[in-house]
A and B are shown apart, each in its own frame.
Chain A
Amino acid sequence: MITNSDPVKSISQPEILVAEGLRKSYGPRKALKELTFSLKAGRILGFLGPNGAGKTTSIRILTTMMEPEAGHFVIDGISSEYPEQIRQRIGVLPESLGFPKQMTGLEYLIYYGQLYGRTASKATEKAHTLLEGVGLQQRAKSLIGSYSRGMKQRLGIARALVNDPVVVFLDEPTLGLDPRGQRELLELVQRIARDGNASVVLSTHLLSEIENICDDVLILDLWQIVARGSVSQVIGRVQKNIILKSVLRIHVPPLSVTKAREVLETMPNILRISQIGELEGSLSLELMASDNGDMAVAYEINNKILSSLLRAKIPILRFEVEGGRLQDIFLHLTEDVIQ
């Protein structure tokens, strides 16, 4: 099932990346079927999909590391028939990126700057700017072998920006980072798009973070697109199409569970209350579905439940609608295709 939601149109933003009908197989094994999408300048596209869905294959094709069997793409007006020119215009942080341990961060960026055609002095100047931008200025002259994982990822992003790319591809940039590192890196990604006006294609499994920083999302499963569009539109349209019964998830302190149950059991729209997993205080509320599937009615019921709990002075630690998060959409879409 594909849900198409057109991204928010902006007359001032041209399409910086257009892919049409990209296909790839490894012998009898399919890797990608008919990938078609576009990306406007300055936007961040989240690339989602379970393992084996075709994300890395897609990124490798778009970054000219691999040739597609069919289809073509255009980046910044340059056709895929000219891979060397495309490489001049893109920046890439691959999923598994190695670094030469005997180079310093500064030497590394100067080297790549020169590979992109800069003179030594200009490459040095750019390297200093980038290191400052990613927060590695203090360690510029340290060997890369002494960098932490997070520092290496930031250096990798700096390298991806060394040629002032129009599109930056980041494949699992937060892999192996602690939560603070993940947040800092994603903030950096937002700055890249905002300050550098570069479009970003971000492949990641951090669905919650995708919701926060991505403008558009493209969900792959079984080598094809199952949803694409802006984040809110994909969530809204799919939620509307698939939700037959409403389910709320709330989380209250363990000591308040009994009182919360008492309040909720008095409410007419709640069909069943059950604990979620083994975490005391996490409750799932199965609600009566509205006859016509009207979302406004559903939201009103949710508000009444929330109000009741607040009036009873029950602390609410979390309150969310099942199917209202990108994670829910993702899980539903990918499961649906498998079935």
Chain B
Amino acid sequence: MALQHFELHVLVAMLRLGGDTYSVPLVLALEKRLGKPVAQAAVFIALSRLEKKGLVTSRLDETPGGRARRYFKPTRQGVTLVREMRGEHARLWRGLGSVLRAPR
């Protein structure tokens, strides 16, 4: 399954936050990790796509006071995909340390 770069970021941030989370902690966590501002809309769209791909599920949580949050949780397929991608990346980067460290 094709996963875009930012979708992977969101999925990893979600795992880091222990699953079952919504856009606000995700935006803050991503900004902290990436060191740059992240648009909430971009996170919303990435989450929608991940849900369409079956990698996360969501539920709407509304309080009588009017507060509404959509909580997302990675599915088993989502967790598996992150694991596979981590392995793929590790294989991809393996042995490149000396090249990337060498002064040009």
- Are A and B co-members of a single complex? no
Q: List residues of B whose CB falls within 8 A of some A CB.
A: none
